Structures are given as C-alpha cells and as structure tokens.
Amino acid sequence: MVTAALSLSSCLKDSKWYVDVSQGKPLVELPLEARNLVGNLVPEALPISSTPQVIQVAVNLAYASTLSTAVTVTLALDPDAVTAYNHANGLDTGGNTPYTLLPPADYSIPSYQVTIPAGQHLVYMNINVNTSLVDPSGQFILPIKIINGGGQQISNYNELLLAVGAKNQYDGVYIVTGTLSDNTDATITGAYPETVYLETSSANTNGFYDPNIGFGHEIITSSGASYYASFAPVFTFSGSTITGVTNYYGQYSGGHLRSAVLDPSGVNKYTTGSPGQPGSVFQVTYIMDQGNPGVPRTTFVETFTYKGPRP
C-alpha cells in the first residue's frame, strides 16, 4: 500500500501524502509541508476528548526507488519558527493576536526519532494531543523540524507548522438561512443564505464566525451590506438542544451595550440528523438586546445546515 501511495500516478496528486519521488538522489522530507508549501500553517483541529488524539507526522524518503539499508531520521521542536511565523505575517504588531507554542502539558511525543526500514519510503512520528487541556480559544503552533537525516540529505520541506486546535462536535461550516426583524429599522434584513463557521469556544459552546468579516453577523441595510458592531452570537449546546446564547464580545458590549439572549419560545434544537454529521440541521431563535438592562432590538430566526469541517 505504501508503494502504491508513493507511485507517480497522476490520480494520486490530490492526496495529502502525494510527493514527487522522481529525485536524482534520496531526500528525507515532510510530505505534508511539500503539499502546503514552506511557511504555511497546517491546520489540525482535533475533537475534544478525554482520550489523547493522535497527529501522525509523515516522514518520507523521496527517491525513485527504495534503499537497501534503514534510515533513522531525527526530528525536534523549533520554537523559533513560531516567532518567525508571527513576524512574517504581521501578527506581532498592532492589535493582532500572535500564535504561541502549544503548551507542553497539552501533548506528548513518544520519540523524536523514526526509522524508515530498508525497502520502504514512508513512516510516521506520532504526537498525542490532550485535547481536553487545549484552550479552544487559543492560537497554537507545534513546529516539528527534521534536524538529522540519518546520513541522507534533508529536503527543503523539512518543517511542519502544525496549527493545533481543539474542536467540539458542533464545530464546522454551515449554511445559514432565516429571517431577522430589527425593531429600530424595518429596512434592515438578513444577508441570507450566509456561509459561516461555528468555531469552538469550549467543550459545548461555539462562536458565529463570518469568513468575510470575522466574528460578526452580516446584515443588509438601505446602503448595502453591513453588520452589527460588537455583536456575534455564541451558542451553548447540550446534546441536540441549544440552551443559551451570549455575545462573543461579552454581554453589554460596545457603544450600544449589545447582548445576546435565547428566545425560548422558538425551535432551539437539531431537527435533522446529529451534530457534526453531513446534512444535519438545527434551528435557533435569539435576540440582540441593547442597553443595560437590555431592550430587544433584533430577533433572529435561523436554520443552520452543516456542510463539513471548517478550514
């Protein structure tokens, strides 16, 4: 199976493990970096679980044939790569949020050495991630680099920037349809259908993230597309039921003191399928309040249809 996976058949070029092995000399490399290109993050969003979740880091001998002797490759953490990534992408300036190194308590690596047996190309280094400890709201990188090729030349594809995150079963990409009613401006309508991400905030809460505007809810005004400032819903789930809604920015946020509350008179549950399953659907009714104490401004009646994992 390994030999087949590493063949030059063009039909495999979309596989995440595809590498071009038509090299003139043997190179040891990390094929997942070869696919994502140097300097890019490789997302690894893992389910929140009391059982360690495993990330497999593939180590490949990129060569047109196999070798008659084993090759032992040594990898290591490269904390400086986190600083370099933040700087290269401007995350260390202004109000941007930089990535940090995944805390040591959140993972374990049984061995930083892997041996590619004679006659083979591909082996794996396992990383055990304690997702129950990973802060879902954090931005973490686990940088893994080849530091010794075991006598073989090291490829330029020698470092993975694993963007490790924890996700619950509600996390994913959704198509949102529905209606909204704004009590202060009847011309405001919803920008439906809308593609949004529900991003894990905790084991049972998810924030409403629009890939076009960030954490915010898009609307259509008489002047065109806009959004409610300092407002994005965060849904609290219990099994297949939505039990609460709060504001991502905090209750009573912004100049308008905006909050989010669940409307218990609505349908606040999964109506089709189960969380995380393709085609599953949940409905929710919630209100954006303004002021403290809050006065209802906008009521949202929405249907979320799950499309798949988010990028």
With a cut of 60, say whether residue 19 has pLDDT above it.
Answer: no
The 3 state secondary structure assigned to the chain is CHHHHCCCCHHHCCCCCCCCCCCCCCEEECHHHHHHCCCCEEEEEEECCCCCEEEEEEEEEECCCCCCCCEEEEEEECCHHHHHHHHHCCCCCCCCCCCEECCHHHEECCCCEEEECCCCCEEEEEEEECCCCCCCCCCEEEEEEEEECCCCEECCCCEEEEEEEEECCCCEEEEEEEEEEECCCCCCEECCCEEEEEEEEECCEEEEEECCCECCCEEEECCEEEECCCCCEEEEEECCEEEEEEECCCCCECCCCEEEEECCCCCCEEEECCCCCCCCEEEEEEEEEECCCCEEEEEEEEEEEEEECCC
With a cut of 50, say whether residue 1 has pLDDT above it.
Answer: no
Instruction: Give the tens place of pLDDT for each residue, 194-230.
Output: 999 999 988 899 999 999 999 999 999 999 999 999 9
Mean pLDDT of the chain: 90
Amino acid at 163: A
Q: How confident is the model at residue 8 (pLDDT cuts 50, 70, 90)?
A: very low
Domain ranges for the chain: 2-166, 172-308
| CA 298 – CA 289 distance, rounded (Å) | 7
Task: Quote the pLDDT of residue 4.
Answer: 39
Task: Quote the pLDDT of residue 34.
Answer: 82
With a cut of 50, say whether residue 13 has pLDDT above it.
Answer: no
**φ, ψ at 245 (rounded to 5°):** -140, 135
CATH T-level assignment (fold) for domain 2-166: Immunoglobulin-like (2.60.40)
CATH T-level assignment (fold) for domain 172-308: Lipocalin (2.40.128)
Task: Quote the pLDDT of residue 20.
Answer: 52
With a cut of 70, say whether residue 12 has pLDDT above it.
Answer: no
> Within 10 A of 292 (CB to CB), how many other CB atoms are there?
10
Task: Quote the pLDDT of residue 85.
Answer: 93
- For residue 88, give the 3-state DSSP assignment: helix
Task: Quote the pLDDT of residue 9.
Answer: 36
With a cut of 80, say whether residue 43 has pLDDT above it.
Answer: yes
Task: Quote the pLDDT of residue 35.
Answer: 80
Mean pLDDT of 67-88: 96
Task: Quote the pLDDT of residue 24.
Answer: 73
Task: Quote the pLDDT of residue 36.
Answer: 78
| CA 258 – CA 246 distance, rounded (Å) | 10
